[in-house]
Copies of this chain bind each other. A is one copy, B any other.
């Protein structure tokens, strides 16, 4: 399409973006005005999509990492035939609208990921490109490139400053993700003012140090934009960065090039002047017929592109039956019923080790289980022997060495899950969940099946000391909505936890696992619950008739509580022992079930967990007690720590006795 026509579309995008922000009286006009040209060229000339089927599996992915510029993408989606009406644009940032302040995955057709927290869109894009490359390497056959698309992302100065951009761009360069193309909206402005207040990186050099291909263009010159993308597409052994020099708030006579255009409406008068300046109609929410005629061509072309792909895909399925069926089930997210191992009682095993054994089984059954670790593979026990390592030379590998990049790993796993066709899991020490916390939150917000393997889950890791000992992390993760945390007490609860995580299609799960050995409870003998019931979150593990005390424990502290029960029994005190690997799952049960486990009239309750107590007041109430650890840990062998910090059967017993005396 000629440059003039493209400018018309871009200016329509600008007009809509201005109007959306003005009407909401809230939002960010600067980015849409600045990046309208680049994104119009991309949508019109390059991007492979079919607006009538936004979930076409082989579509190009597009991520707006600077989610605050959401009116840009809403305007484009509207113009390019997605199911976003003009009325939706008018409802920008309003209750229940499909045009929220920042783009939200699942809320709006064509939105590939939720963005806003800077740097993470970039991480998601890296994950999408990674997923594409793994699937392509595993499933494409000569002449049948059934998985073959690009991933595009737009990032701004903020994205470039965030540390996670370093992690994921270094990762992408190392792994030669050639089909990742990132536009850097370099406009020299941040919220505080000119970028040079805080930022003077030579970004070209920086990305070359990561082994990216870098181009620099004028982001308002359509020819340069088009040519740079075409060139980037030909470079298959490196990701591409296209540095687009742009003017923030482009077109606004008094605010262009200034931070004033970033995060507030232009104002009625300036909006009017801007439209005049751009030579577009002063009418609000206006799209000239001519523009719809122009964009319609791309819509029709998109339909044709999917049809062409479907033809190839059908031929593929005919010719390579087994792969076809497998790939189809991956695309449709049909997970067969996965088998998990059963562990014999009597042995003693760290839950990280039983987790490792479960992973072995799962990887055998589900080929696109994409594992990894942030450089703690031997400690996290995350690699199945069957998994080959993903590397620039072997992109069919399904085990990812993420490097010491926890946050990056979290964001990349979100991208893998968003892309689909793969199920990601990744490991690190539990304490470093802090580094990736925002990515966990985003997985929960988006409802992504991402699985975290968090090992070394308490002071039980011993000598490494308080910097490595999570004490508050269980309580801190339990408050993230839609995240399920499971801290299993033994090998069989670990296996059940993995099953829950794999089956959970609408949110992330964290598995919180020990470094130290734990006995596998004999569920066939001794009065223990004869299945794990982990899926209930909490259940009666064993109990004495006419019990008067309820002990609640999780993970490694169940063993301590069981020992306390024995000691209490000797004193004639009868006990119900509740294993509660997941408070979130327990909370989801019926009132009736919950009351059956923790009867309202049984208020002599003690919770035991080697961490801060905040979680447990909900379950023990004002009359109950908590044997926890409301301080940082220390460096010493773990048996010493448990003793010194009073996380012992004896301490549980004395707590019970004191409580009973009070009651």
Contact = CB atoms under 8 A, between A and B. Distances in A.
Interface in A608-650: 612, 614-615, 617-618, 621-623, 630-632, 634-637, 640-641, 644
B445 A404 contact: no
B401 A197 contact: yes
A145 interface: no
Contact of A157 (B174, B404, B614, B623): B404
Contacts of A37: none
A101 B201 contact: no
Interface in A376-396: 376-379, 389, 391
Contact of A209 (B202, B375, B464): B202
Interface in A125-184: 157-159, 161-167, 170-171, 173-174
Interface in A640-663: 640-641, 644
Given A402-B198, A640-B95, A465 B192 contact: no
B170 A201 contact: yes
Contact of A375 (B165, B191, B635): B191
Which of A100, A376, A403, A630 has the largest number of chain B CB atoms within 10 A? Answer: A403
A530 to B, nearest CB: 30
Contacts of A472: 441, 479-481
B479 A466 contact: no
Contact of A437 (B102, B157, B201, B434): B434
Contacts of A93: 463, 465, 635-637
A461 to B, nearest CB: 9
Nearest to A466: B445
Residue from A203, A614, A622 whose CB has the most chain B CB atoms within 10 Å: A622
Nearest to A408: B163
A426 interface: no
A462 interface: yes
Nearest to A171: B198
Interface residues of A, number: 111
Given A166-B166, A191-B375, A467 B198 contact: no
A448 to B, nearest CB: 14
A405 B162 contact: yes
Contact of A434 (B96, B438, B641): B438
Interface string A437-467: 1100110110000000000000000111111
A67 interface: yes
Contact of A191 (B95, B203, B376, B636): B376
Contact of A612 (B27, B164, B481): B481
A197 B389 contact: yes
B401 A198 contact: yes
Given A158-B404, A481-B632, A614-B614, A208 B210 contact: no
A640 B93 CA distance: 11
A189 to B, nearest CB: 11
Interface stretch (A54-62, A112-120, A344-352, A521-529): A112-120
Interface string A363-383: 000000000010111110000
Nearest to A406: B162
A200 B375 CA distance: 14
Given A445-B466, A476-B480, 12 more contacts: A68-B464, A95-B644, A117-B435, A166-B167, A174-B198, A192-B377, A192-B378, A197-B389, A199-B403, A435-B437, A472-B480, A481-B632
25 contacts: A67-B467, A68-B464, A94-B635, A94-B637, A96-B634, A100-B466, A102-B467, A104-B465, A115-B467, A116-B467, A116-B468, A162-B404, A163-B167, A165-B166, A173-B200, A173-B201, A191-B378, A197-B391, A202-B211, A205-B206, A434-B438, A472-B481, A482-B632, A614-B618, A617-B621
